[in-house]
Structure 1
């Protein structure tokens, strides 16, 4: 009689461990896929933050002027801060120097003058539109 001491193959124990690992991976994968399909509010939050920055800068400015797609703010130190669209970006420059990016992936940026301030209209590349009225208190 021949005795085999080294048998290769699967046992019930190793099969149960493999099935347990596969079940855990499938459960995790389903949870990750659900998380990927949830809406993100990155664009909305960044545009609201942009509006808050503009409001704060207008409050701190000595004066302002607006064009169709540009905002000029007169700062306390006599410099002029310009906020305008540059390609798909909205940037801020001081005395036409520098390149501080406020927003990305912007399709259009328009500024309309009002009696006591101005209105900003932004359209993103995704097609979302945002408007904000900025009030100026001299």
Structure 2
């Protein structure tokens, strides 16, 4: 009886060859589109930035705005700043550190009030993002 079909060994060899070819597939694909996405303003990153700055503003006893830098003075004596650094916004504590909190930014403006801070960020692509961060208690504003 001469039946036609594949043996288990033949199927394993074919599976091994297919897996080998598939493992090299990512190297053959053009992944430049991932790099292009990295140079865009990310809305999710904006939301994380807002959460970070909300925390700092609500803990502050005093706020100060100097050009494109926001200073939050905490009761513990720390001075936290959010400042432009090229196309980035970085967070620093007491003038030290370099924590990047937002990327691909062309301009940032802070408008201070005793009840909170109006934040306006302009992305590199020209789109504007605005938010108002309110405080729980009135905050002293340095002029």
> Structure 1, residues 49-107: CA drift from partner, whole Å, max 9, x if none?
11111111111223222233111111232010111111100001111111111011111
In the other structure, the counterpart of 2:100 is 101
In the other structure, the counterpart of 1:129 is 128
**Shift, 1:42, TM fit:** 6.9
* Unaligned 5+ runs, structure 1: 1-35
Question: In terms of mean alpha carbon deviation, does 118-127 or 107-116 score higher?
Answer: 107-116
Partners in 1 of 2:134 and 2:66 — Cα distance? 16
The normalised TM-score by structure 1 is: 0.65
Partners in 2 of 1:63 and 1:114 — Cα distance? 11
SS of the equivalent of 2:80 reads strand
SS of the equivalent of 1:59 reads helix
Partners in 2 of 1:61 and 1:67 — Cα distance? 16
In the other structure, the counterpart of 2:54 is 55
In the other structure, the counterpart of 1:4 is none
Superposition RMSD in Å: 2.6
In the other structure, the counterpart of 2:25 is none
Bigger relative contact order, structure 1 or 2, given CA contacts below 8 A and separation 6+? 2
Query: Do residues 85 (structure 1) and 84 (structure 2) align?
Result: yes
Aligned length: 104
Partners in 2 of 1:60 and 1:111 — Cα distance? 17
